[in-house]
Amino acid sequence: MEPVSIYTVDTCKPGVTSVPNDSKAKSYTFDEVIDFIGFGRTTVHIFLASSIVMMAVLNETMGISIVIPAAQCDLNLSSTDKGILTGVSFAGIIVSSHFWGYIADTKGRRSTLIVSLLLTATCALVSGFSINFTMMAVMRFLVGVFVSAPSATIFAYLGEFFKTTKRTIVITYASVAVGLSGVFTATTGWYVLSFDWEVLLPGVAFTLRPWRLLFIVYTLPTLIGACWLIFLPESPKFYLSRDRQSEAFAILQRLYLENHPNATVDDFCIKHIVPEAGQKIRSKDSRSAAGCWHVARSMWNQTVPLFQKSNVVNFTICCVVQFGLFVVSAGMGLWFPDIVNRITTSNTTDTTVCDALSTTLIYSNATEDRLESTSISPVCNDNVNERVFIYAMTLGGLYTVLYLVMSALMQKLGRKSVVGFNLFFSGFSGIILHMLGLELLQVPNGSSYRCSVSILRSGGSQCAEIDDQFTNTAFAGTITERYDWSDTTLPRQLDDCSNLMPEVRSSSPFYTKFAPHRVQEMPGVSHPMAVRKE
């Protein structure tokens, strides 16, 4: 049974002098202390810094889907290579999440966040100077290993500065940064990749091109978040859980004074907080013998309770729900630009989405077989279609709006109802998607489809808060090649290939589509321009 405080917060107000001097009489729960401190300047800084960190996590994990198409020629990437690069950071998150959870629980939220963010930024910047696929894969894997820490720890850090009843709503509002990340990566990607310059660095095995600069741009929120956290306090709840009450009270007093500029030290009259159950036991355990064996044993002791009878059901439900949400949201988020690109380049509107995708795949495979049989090799095309950026920005905007809507709904309906509605509506939208004709998905009517995808992703933060237990789950996705068939230089380039054999030229879908004397429009083909082998 939770201990009851002797005095409520109302008895401890600035100017009140009738509070007894006995420190034991001044016992408050942590939520009461947070309520007494209120929401002010420092709390706003903590909220904004946490939002920046959330944005940084999405930049590092999802921004790669925009960079890879532009980097495929310089790194000689195959479709398999691009799929690996897209998913390897998620593999790093999976293998390191448990370790970072232990570090955050024993060494502190803030210090873990700062160190991991700086390491993430370092690896991300180095990956921008990769000279081959292997180097890029290793560095992106390390990015995933280090970004795993802020991907979950930031929720605990932010939530512990708010009372329990407000924690989920605050975290959901902060998750608006997830949508802003989509807008940021698409906007900056569109701008940076619109340039066509290259710098040959002497003595270095690579050429500096815009896509390398894009890694630096995407890393800026990571560096900003790390620097911002340096000036912010550690979670007082973490110090209390380690039985370091003097440090916890110093932070709580700092929060109170900074949130109330006219207050004095004497106005903060709270001297004792009711300890949580098991707090001192964990403290003694964390200060015992050091070493690898102790770390492993401590991690085991903190993991076993999750599988006890009282927790295993809720833990399993959270894992299953999050698994579904992240598989669909991350997977669909990475495939979404390519799916839209194939559908919008198709000239048929009386078919379903699956049929349209199958049709473009058949044309692509047939074209590749024809080129192989005639000794014609494709020229690498690293142009990124502008529609990729437009749809990505639209999707990010929808995420932002839906996070705000879900935050408001949770205050009225509660967490469980909102999560249940999101899961049901997302599943329903996914089923209906297979039955819709293409005319319903064309712009601007395609917004209904993008909204469905947004809802798939917007449910993640609410689900993660079902029982205030955050679990790191991340799943790999792949993307396929994207070719810019709207490039106006293609018809001229194809005409320059007049030495192609007549039978190949007349039967080639991409030649028929773009040649000035074309007699019919062919469905979109995901294959680059072709030239004769030397």
The rounded average pLDDT for each run of 10 residues, N- to C-terminus, in the chain (534 residues) is 37 41 60 85 93 93 86 84 86 89 89 96 94 93 94 91 84 86 90 87 79 93 96 91 85 89 81 63 48 74 80 86 76 65 56 57 49 53 74 83 82 79 79 61 38 40 36 31 35 37 39 38 38 35
Handedness of CA 165, 170, 171, 175 (dihedral sign): positive
**Is the CB of residue 89 less than 8 Å from the CB of residue 64?**
yes
Query: Which uninterrupted H or E stretch holds 309?
Result: helix 309-344
User: In the prediction, which pLDDT does 120 show?
Assistant: 96
How many Å separate Cα 521 from the centre of its chain? Answer: 39
Nearest one of 134, 54, 140 to 93, comparing CA atoms: 140
47 contact partners, CB below 8 Å, separation of at least 6: 158, 170, 173, 174
**Is the CB of residue 218 less than 8 Å from the CB of residue 63?**
yes
Residue type, 416: K
448-472 burial: b if 16+ Cβ within 10 Å, else e: ebbbbbbbbbbbbbbbbbbeeebbb
DSSP three-state, residue 376:
strand
What is d(CA 129, CA 215) in angstroms, rounded to the nearest whole number? 9
369 contact partners, CB below 8 Å, separation of at least 6: none
Within the chain, all domains assigned CATH 1.20.1250.20 are found at: 19-166+192-276
User: In the prediction, which pLDDT does 414 show?
Assistant: 77
440 contact partners, CB below 8 Å, separation of at least 6: 448
Residue keyed to tokens 């991340």: 474
User: In the prediction, which pLDDT does 173 show?
Assistant: 86
What's the CA angle centered on 52, arms 50 and 57, to 5 degrees?
A: 95
How many Å separate Cα 501 from the centre of its chain? Answer: 48
Strands (E), 180-248: 199-200, 207-208
User: In the prediction, which pLDDT does 470 show?
Assistant: 33
Q: Which CATH architecture has domain 19-166+192-276?
A: Up-down Bundle (1.20)
Nearest one of 40, 38, 48, 42 to 174, comparing CA atoms: 48
User: In the prediction, which pLDDT does 480 show?
Assistant: 31
User: In the prediction, which pLDDT does 446 show?
Assistant: 38
349-388 burial: b if 16+ Cβ within 10 Å, else e: eeeebeebbebbeebbeebeebbeeeebeeeebbbbbebb
User: In the prediction, which pLDDT does 123 show?
Assistant: 95
- CA-CA-CA-CA dihedral for 426, 431, 434, 439, to nearest 10: -50
136 class by beta-carbon count within 10 Å (0-12 exposed, 13-18 middle, 19+ buried): buried
User: In the prediction, which pLDDT does 459 show?
Assistant: 43
User: In the prediction, which pLDDT does 335 show?
Assistant: 65
154 contact partners, CB below 8 Å, separation of at least 6: 50, 53, 54, 57, 113
